[in-house]
Amino acid sequence: MRVVVSHMSGAFRGKRELFEGDRLTIGRARVNVVRLGPHDTVSSSRHAALVAERGHYVLHDLGSTNGTFSRGKRVERVKMASGDAATFGFGGPELRFDFFEELPDVRPSLDEPHEFSFKARFAWMMLATAGLFAVLTVLFISMESFLPVLPLGLGAAALALLGISALRKNITLGPDGIEYQGMLRSRRIPWPDVAALESGRRTGVLAGQVCRVKGWKGTIVFAPDSYRDGFLLARMIAEASGKEWS
């Protein structure tokens, strides 16, 4: 896995670095992989380590003097999601971590259409919840308790539609352009019509990176984390369109 470290504050504020590996030590000493400024004295020389554990990164405090803080709390060990930040010492330098998949050495050719499928984990959660609501609806009807039936039934129907829709949110790249395929709508942008590529972040429950392919007659929006080989998808869009992500 690759990690982009952004220095949000401290002596190296504004600096962004790319690292690869399963363990990144953080601190003021030269031996660390991620170095903090020598004048960031609230941070320790060996302050923390970001370690790959079972498919995620976990930030460990290494017995620092002034502690490690994430999401407003002092932590000894915390699981980090892409886009999360941590502060090293109270009032010390803040780093943000963005995690990216390793890109495969062999990439599909755009001489023929190649489909990138949506990861269905959220879809199955919605469908399971819809099933639960449906069971509760039947249960309340059998008990002749009709007050909760309407909201439960509507909720089951809405979640089922959203889940089925999410299962078909695929993106196809081909020699002529990019196509988004959903259950309710589809959109196609030819490569010459791509006006700009924009990337940003979304917050909340679905926090993470979001990408926008802006065409002259429409926009295709996707989150790389939500698609299989999603970061390869973003890279291939940039190469095929001749544009850079901004």
Q: From first to last of its 246 residues, what are the pLDDT tens digits of the chain? A: 678 888 999 999 988 888 878 899 999 999 999 999 999 999 999 999 999 887 788 999 999 999 999 988 999 999 998 888 999 999 999 999 988 765 555 667 778 888 887 766 666 777 788 888 888 888 888 887 778 888 888 888 887 776 666 665 788 898 999 998 876 678 899 999 999 988 776 554 445 678 889 999 889 888 777 777 777 888 888 888 888 877
pLDDT score for 43:
95
β-strand partners of 211: 199, 222
Residue 136: phi and psi, rounded to 5, are -65, -35
Alpha-carbon dihedral sign for residues 35, 38, 40, 46: positive
Euclidean distance between CA atoms 245 and 242, whole angstroms: 10
pLDDT score for 19:
84
Asked if 43 and 93 count as a contact pair (C-beta separation under 8 A), the reply is yes
Closest CA to 195 of 219, 170, 222, 171: 219
Closest CA to 227 of 107, 120, 126, 127: 120
Euclidean distance between CA atoms 32 and 14, whole angstroms: 19
In Å, how far are 45, 218, 241, 245 from 197, measured between CA atoms? 40, 12, 9, 5
Contacts of 176 (CB under 8 A, 6+ apart): 190, 191
- All structural domains of the chain with their residue ranges: 2-100, 104-117+170-246, 119-167
Assign residue 236 a region (left: φ > 0; alpha: ψ between -120 and 50; beta: otherwise): alpha
pLDDT score for 164:
66
Q: What's the DSSP call for residue 68?
A: E
Task: Decide if 2-100 and 104-117+170-246 have a common fold.
Answer: no
Euclidean distance between CA atoms 146 and 131, whole angstroms: 18
Euclidean distance between CA atoms 195 and 243, whole angstroms: 8
Asked if 195 and 215 count as a contact pair (C-beta separation under 8 A), the reply is yes
CATH of span 104-117+170-246: 2.30.29.30
pTM score, two decimals?
0.50
Euclidean distance between CA atoms 77 and 95, whole angstroms: 16
Euclidean distance between CA atoms 41 and 166, whole angstroms: 49
**What is the CATH topology of the domain spanning 2-100?**
Tumour Suppressor Smad4 (2.60.200)
Asked if 44 and 64 count as a contact pair (C-beta separation under 8 A), the reply is yes
